[in-house]
């Protein structure tokens, strides 16, 4: 991350950063909300995904039509697969780039994710011969792309979302173009020729089409309707199938089949199975009785209203925490602290930012914004992303390492090849706090070629503080200046008039 999201007044003073679509283009959040679009961040992908089940269960006919188009494309692939495919055809029809311009997904920080390449293509092609073998002709249920992610862990929600996004890209581009022409200044938009915008079944090729779209540093942006989005897993997911798998045989109507499945269950399941063994056994059962997948999907289809309600709640929560609260925190930090000043080394940069963050939370009412709905942040990834989003102006290179060989560290701060430091965030409630403090950061330091790092522990309750003090004492690092404990409690900060 660098300083290009900031600008200066004529006197050289800093003004507020513009890290969200609405801020960058000077559009009110209400206009975006009324249009139905999610206010994307232009610093980092936000952990949101398009769930194709929300298209299927939507009451909007255009969404249902989009789901039908996904099924038609799968049927096209299946027909071609049965006739035999060349390597060029596999690349053209099965491989997809991530649609990074929607700024949604796993990437921290930035928007360069993984493409749907060979592994995805092989999984999809294989599935069209087994679990998706009856695509478009299922008995009692509809076709769902999410079937692809139900057997084996190689295809997850990000792949399902990316594939869906590519297949409905023409709709999203047109959706964004309509918004741009109605609500945006011409100088903030450009005409873009977008490759692989839509598939032409007559020529069996992907078409390039031209759209008038928001322009961000010579690339276009794509807006996504909020009611297509969810957080965490898609509604039909492998994790959900694994959780409720043992309840499925009872829903089988045919007595003989139910007895066969129960007998098979008894032979492949046993009490002392590990989770891995249990999941392997489930995969074996599905291959033996593939109708269980359609039975599971049928149950999920009956829960369409619940799917929409839960996805909306998750999306609203993500907006509140990672959009609305960050929008309030950045100018508040700028006004109350020197958080955006620039120290001289990466370690000073890392430590000073963390200490300033601590002071803001503990002494300047920042705890209100690092809490959610009356509770502490429930996930370390949310705290990490929150901190990263507010740290949007620095001359240093700040990024989250996707994989450095020994697992991902929260942040690496560097200035050139020879000056780099790490920041690792932990919630005090983490059951592995002691082990992580003792070993994890040391491993990350070795993997990243640095000996300087800052460990940050957030406490949301008195119990958190007691546990942290005990752990630091046991490890002999209670007075270590590189270990920063932040008191984010709500219940111990009286107002200034009462203090």
Q: What's the confidence (pLDDT) of residue 124?
A: 82
Q: Which residues pair with 210 in a beta bridge?
A: 193
Check residue 7 and give its pLDDT. 44
Determine contact, residues 73/131, Cβ cutoff 8 Å.
Answer: no
Q: Which helix (H) or strand (E) holds 24?
A: helix 21-25
- CA dist 462 and 185 (Å) reads 51
- Give residue 426's region: left, alpha or beta (phi > 0; psi -120 to 50): beta
Q: Alpha helix locations (H) across 147-274?
A: 157-167, 169-183, 238-244, 255-268
Q: Which of 195, 225, 176 is nearest to 96 (CA)?
A: 195
What pLDDT was estimated at residue 112?
Answer: 58
Confidence (pLDDT) at 409: 47
Contact predicate 453/445, CB 8 Å:
yes
Q: Are 346 and 420 in contact (CB under 8 A)?
A: yes
Neighbours of 496 (CB within 10 A): 7
Highest mean pLDDT among 28-32, 80-84, 240-244: 28-32
Is residue 331 a contact partner of residue 15, using CB atoms and an 8 Å limit? no
- Measured N-to-C along each axis, helices 346-363 and 325-336 cross at an angle, to the nearest 10 degrees, of 100
Choose the most confident range, by mean pLDDT, from 22-36, 301-315, 330-344.
Answer: 22-36
Instruction: Please give the average per-residue pLDDT across 359-367, as a whole number.
Output: 88
Could you tell me what percentage of the chain is helix, strand and coil, using 3-state DSSP and rounding each to the nearest 5?
50, 15, 35
Q: Where are the alpha helices (DSSP H) in 289-401?
A: 291-301, 304-319, 325-336, 346-363, 380-390
DSSP result, 179-209: HHHHHS-GGGEEEEEEEEEEEETTTTEEEEE
Between the alpha carbon of residue 91 and those of residues 23, 76, 97, 119, 326, the distances in Å are: 39, 15, 11, 12, 40
User: Are 61 and 237 spatial neighbours (Cβ–Cβ below 8 Å)?
Assistant: no
- Classify 215 as helix, strand or coil: strand
pLDDT at 259: 85
pLDDT value at residue 406? 41
- Give the pLDDT mean for 288-308: 85
The string of pLDDT tens digits covering residues 393-433 is 555 555 555 444 444 446 666 655 566 777 888 899 988 88
Q: Per-residue pLDDT for 267 more than 50? A: yes
Whether omega before 11 lies within 30 degrees of 0, making that bond cis, reads no
Q: What is the pLDDT of residues 31-43, one digit of tens each?
A: 999 999 999 988 7
pLDDT in tens, 283-294: 888 777 877 888
pLDDT band at 6 (very low <50, low <70, confident <90, very high): very low
What is the average pLDDT value for the chain, to the nearest integer? 81
d(CA 58, CA 226): 12
pLDDT beyond 50 at 65? yes
380, 317 contact by CB (below 8 A): no
| Percent of the chain predicted with pLDDT > 70 | 82
Q: What is the pLDDT of residues 19-29, one digit of tens each?
A: 899 999 999 99
Please say if the pLDDT value at position 129 is more than 50. yes
The 10s digit of each residue's pLDDT in 371-394 is 876 677 877 878 887 887 777 655
Task: Using DSSP, state whether 47 is helix, strand or coil.
Answer: coil
Alpha-helical regions (H) of 420-461: 433-435, 441-448
pLDDT digits (tens, 9 = 90+) for 434-475: 888 877 556 555 555 555 788 899 999 999 999 999 999 988
| Assigned token pair, 31 | 């206009």
* 398 against 331, higher pLDDT: 331
Q: Is the pLDDT of residue 3 over 80?
A: no
Q: What angle do CA 128, 66, 198 make, to 5 degrees?
A: 80
Write down the pLDDT at residue 198. 95
| Local confidence band at 17 (pLDDT 50, 70, 90 cut-offs) | low
Q: Are 366 and 329 in contact (CB under 8 A)?
A: yes
């Amino acid at each position: 991350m660098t300083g290009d999201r900031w600008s200066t007044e004529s006197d050289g003073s800093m003004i507020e950063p513009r890290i969200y679509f609405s801020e960058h283009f000077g559009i009110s959040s209400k206009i975006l909300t009324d249009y139905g679009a999610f206010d994307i961040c232009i610093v980092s992908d936000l952990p949101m995904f398009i769930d194709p089940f929300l298209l299927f269960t939507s009451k909007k006919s255009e969404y249902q039509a989009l789901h039908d188009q996904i099924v038609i494309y799968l049927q096209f692939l299946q027909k071609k697969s049965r006739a035999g495919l060349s390597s060029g055809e596999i690349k053209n029809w099965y491989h997809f780039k991530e649609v990074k311009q929607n700024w949604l997904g796993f990437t921290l920080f930035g928007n360069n994710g993984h493409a749907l390449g060979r592994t995805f293509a092989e999984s999809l092609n294989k599935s069209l011969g087994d679990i998706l073998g009856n695509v478009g002709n299922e008995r009692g249920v509809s076709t769902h792309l999410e079937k692809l992610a139900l057997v084996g862990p190689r295809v997850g929600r990000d792949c399902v979302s990316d594939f869906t996004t590519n297949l409905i890209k023409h709709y999203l581009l047109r959706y964004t173009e309509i918004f741009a022409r109605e609500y945006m200044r011409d100088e903030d938009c450009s005409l873009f020729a977008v490759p692989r915008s839509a598939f032409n079944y007559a020529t069996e090729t992907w078409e390039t089409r031209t759209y008038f779209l928001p322009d961000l540093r010579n690339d276009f942006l794509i807006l996504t309707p909020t009611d297509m989005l969810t957080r965490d897993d898609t509604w039909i997911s492998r994790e959900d199938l694994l959780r409720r798998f043992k309840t499925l045989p009872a829903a089988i109507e045919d007595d003989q089949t139910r007895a066969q499945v129960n007998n098979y269950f008894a032979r492949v399941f046993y009490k002392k199975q590990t989770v891995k063994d249990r999941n392997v056994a489930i995969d074996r059962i599905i291959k033996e009785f593939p109708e269980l997948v359609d039975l599971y999907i049928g149950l999920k289809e009956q829960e369409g209203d619940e799917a929409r309600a839960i996805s909306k709640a998750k999306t609203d929560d993500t907006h509140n925490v990672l959009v609305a609260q960050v929008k309030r925190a950045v100018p508040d930090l700028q006004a109350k602290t020197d958080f955006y000043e620039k120290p001289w080394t990466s370690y000073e940069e890392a430590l000073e930012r963390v200490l300033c963050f601590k002071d803001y939370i503990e002494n300047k009412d920042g705890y209100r914004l690092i809490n959610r709905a009356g509770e502490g942040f429930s996930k370390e990834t949310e705290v990490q992303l929150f901190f990263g989003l507010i740290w949007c102006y620095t001359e240093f290179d700040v990024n989250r390492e996707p994989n450095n060989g020994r697992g991902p560290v929260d942040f690496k701060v560097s200035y050139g090849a020879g000056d780099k430091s790490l920041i690792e965030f932990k919630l005090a409630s983490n059951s592995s706090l002691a082990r992580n403090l003792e070993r994890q950061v040391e491993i990350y330091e070795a993997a990243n070629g640095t000996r300087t790092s800052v460990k940050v522990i957030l406490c949301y309750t008195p119990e958190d503080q007691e546990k942290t003090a005990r752990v630091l004492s046991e490890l002999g690092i209670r007075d270590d200046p590189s270990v920063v404990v932040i008191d984010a409690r709500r219940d111990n900060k009286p107002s200034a008039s009462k203090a």
